[in-house]
Structure 1
Amino acid sequence: MKVDWAALGAVFGVSIAVVLGLVLLFSVGLRGVSAREAAREDGRNGVNGAVTAVVSFAACACVVLFGLYLIVAA
């Protein structure tokens, strides 16, 4: 049995990059929710935080759904 170490390293690198990107997107979404709540407590509307949260969480959902598509289609 021969292991293709280059392919394994490529899969590992892409996996780490996608996971870090997904965590970053989710963190930005949580920050948007927090900013919205802080703005609402100060009497402002908090639209910027809400838009940031919705866009970030939608991007997270797209990444997860694309990953599922890649798994199921294979």
Structure 2
Amino acid sequence: MDLNWSSLGEVAVVSIGATVGVVIVFSLGVRALATTDRGEEDRGDGAPGGVEPPAGGSTAYGGRRAGVGRPGAPAVAVAGLCFLACAAAVLYGLYLIVPQFH
């Protein structure tokens, strides 16, 4: 049995690179959805601008947790593009694997 080791190594490198790329793009999409558009300036200590954190280290401000809200439209658009790119990569991989699609 004769193995072409350079081709095997090339396939391994490309598959690992593609996997890492899809994971990174998917993570960017999740991160984009995790951002919130609070409309207030963040002071960097977890409290929205102008609001003093309550005593005891609680993260609640007026009955609401800091950072909880809906993501803005640009963040949703970026997340959608990231997820679309991931879906396209997965579908292309399936296209390459399944011989009936050729």
TM-score by length of structure 2 reads: 0.63
Partner Cα separation in structure 2 for residue 57 and residue 3 of structure 1: 37
- Identity over the aligned pairs, expressed in percent? 43
How many angstroms does 1:2 deviate by?
1.3
- Structure 1 residue runs of 4+, over 4 Å off? none
Query: Per-residue CA shift, 1:3-51, capped at 9, x if unaligned?
Result: 110000000010011001100110010011111xx21xx1586011101
In structure 1, what is the Cα distance between the partners aligned to 2:78 and 2:71? 14
Q: Residue type of the partner of 2:97?
A: I
Choose between structure 1 and 2: higher helix proportion.
Answer: 1
- Post-superposition shift, 1:70? 0.5
Between Structure 1 and Structure 2, how many residues are aligned?
A: 70
Structure 1 gap segments, 5+ residues each: none
* Aligned match for 1:57, one of 73, 83, 94: 83
Please provide the CA RMSD for this pair: 1.7
Change (3 A) 1:45 1:33: closer
Q: How does 1:1-74 map to 2 (within 5 A)?
A: 1-35=1-35, 38-39=36-37, 42-43=38-39, 46-73=72-99
TM-score between the two structures when normalised by the length of structure 1: 0.86
